[in-house]
Structure formats: structure tokens, C-alpha cells
Amino acid sequence: MVDNQLEELLCEPDGPLRPNVSVIVLNSKGDIFLGERSDEPGHWQFPQGGIEGSEILEENAFRELSEETGITRSSCEPLGVLTYIHEYRWPASKREKIPHLSQWVGQSQRFFVILFRGDNAEVALDKDSQIEFTAWRWCPRAQVLSEVAPVRQVGYAGALAELEERLQQFAPFLADS
């Protein structure tokens, strides 16, 4: 187990979890969008973010996707929400470093699946004033867990397992499923 994963497990269990959505963006081949975090070089992950106010999950997913990647809703088809939920705690050191997270002890993360029908040229990582990703790529589904940051692997494993089970449902939307 990676040190920061162990620290996550040992931090205080009580307190509110921040509602969060992680966006699994598929292209027509079934590959998944990964972005490299601007604040942690080498840390690859899905677009994600906290649910704000009274936003519904789908609104939040498309807002985060647009802010972090420049991909707009008009280039996408929503495929649905996975039933898998990943709940995790942050170490106190992370909450102290990021003041806007101090009211939460961790996150409750849902996964929203989107099919990207646009052109790769639409991806604009610098669209928002707060740049989340410095690089991006399409990753074959079977390689995602070996490519993402270790701290993401546990949560993504559950989501990807469900995605694979549901792929037949999504197959009509994919060119090479």
C-alpha cells in the first residue's frame, strides 16, 4: 500500500464527506480520457470536482468537464451514472493545505459516464483560469489502473469494474467495443 493511501485510511473517520463527481469520458473506441494534474506532475486522473450548491450530478459532471478540459456538452452524449460510490478520507495535512476543503473530512465520489463525439482539437486545457491539467491522453480501458496515480487506483477499480459489466449497454455508442 502506498504511504498516502495508508495515511488516508488512518485519518479521522467522522465528519462530512464532500459530494464529488468523477467523469469517465469514453471516445468511440472505448478509450478513457486521462488528464495529468497541473499541481502534481505524473498524477493522471479522470476529470472531477465537488458538487456545488444544488447542482444535479449531470450538471456538475458537464461543468467540471468543460472547466478542466474545454470539452462542451454539445460534443458529448451522457451514458449514465454508475451505481458504484467511492468514499474516502483525506489526511489532515491535505485539509490544512487547502482551506476550502477544511469543512470536509473526505469525499463521496460518484462516477458519470460520457461519450465524447467531438474532435480531439476541441480539448483545451487552458480554457478556465484555474488550470487543472497540463497534459491529456486517451488510455485503453485495460491500462487505466496502471496509468493513474496510485491514490486513485482503489476508487477507479470499482468504477471500471462496473463500467466493464455495463459495456454491452453502451456498445451501440462505441465503434470498436
Q: Where are the chain's structural domains? A: 3-170
Chain center to CA of 70: 15
C-alpha 5/C-alpha 50 separation (Å) is 20
C-alpha 176/C-alpha 59 separation (Å) is 28
- Over range 132-141, report the average pLDDT: 97
Chain center to CA of 146: 15
Residue 170's pLDDT is: 74
Over the stretch 4-39, which tens digit does the pLDDT of each residue have? 443 444 445 578 898 999 999 999 999 999 999 999
Over the stretch 94-129, which tens digit does the pLDDT of each residue have? 777 777 777 888 899 999 999 999 999 999 999 888
Percent pLDDT > 90 in the chain is 67
Q: Global pTM? A: 0.87
- Which CATH fold would you assign to the domain 3-170? Nucleoside Triphosphate Pyrophosphohydrolase (3.90.79)
